[in-house]
Amino acid sequence: MTTLKQAAQQALDALEISAVTVDSFRVQKATQEAITALKAALEQPEQRSDGMPQSKTERHLRRMLCAQRHGAGVYMDDGEASFGGDQNCRSIDYMRESVDAIEQAWRDAGIKKLTAAQPEQEPVACLSKTQAKAILDLALDLEKTGRLVSLTEGQERSNFVTRNRAIQCALEDALRNATTPPAAQRPWVGQRLKLEGT
């Protein structure tokens, strides 16, 4: 595409050639090329110095898009249309950024918003083989003593009930220790207070 400055330079060159050259065909050809270049350059719309789109319709549509997307948080003075940004979206200049850049900013904001909306997951407790075996052994002992409690009577039954309760407590402790985060398992360590009279 020929710019106005280039077209004017071509016209100048053609006129210089026509002034020096005697060959009329060459003068006519150079003059015709200069005239064509000047016409093409003059038909081009004048570029805006502020970097905004040429089309009034496009500028209007970009303002509407900005206001629709961001509502009250937009800057719309002096023909501008820009969004200052928030916790999810970067700032966007709707008049000077390409449509692709605006669309990418929207995508990035959507991803950031979705990522922030996901709840943090609780850490999953992983059992070692030793812990798993100990829990399984306690569960099997609990089942065995439970059967023995139901099959026996008297003092023997009382002994199995006591043993069954002890196994239940041990199993609960093992499960609690296996599923509690490590920081919560640590006993409080600090200075002991001296009691009066000790």
Tokens coding 112: 């950031």
- What pLDDT does 101 receive? 92
- Average confidence score pLDDT of the chain: 76
SS3 content of the chain, % helix, strand, coil (to 5): 65, 5, 30
Total count of residues recorded for the chain? 198
Q: Where do the structural domains in the chain lie, given as residue ranges?
A: 4-43, 56-116, 129-184
Residue 104 has pLDDT above 90, yes or no: yes
Greater pLDDT, 21 or 168: 168
pLDDT of residue 121: 66
- At residue 191, the pLDDT reads 47
- How does DSSP assign 128-162, residue by residue? -HHHHHHHHHHHHHHHHHHHHHHH--HHHHHHHHH
- 171-183 pLDDT per residue, tens: 888 877 776 665 5
User: 98 or 36: which carries more pLDDT confidence?
Assistant: 98
- Residue 166 predicted with pLDDT over 50: yes
pLDDT score for 164: 84
CA distances from 142 to 150, 153, 156, 175 (A): 12, 18, 16, 14
The pTM of the full predicted model, rounded to 2 decimals, is 0.41
pLDDT digits (tens, 9 = 90+) for 46-83: 667 777 888 888 888 888 988 998 888 889 888 888 89
pLDDT at 118 over 60: yes
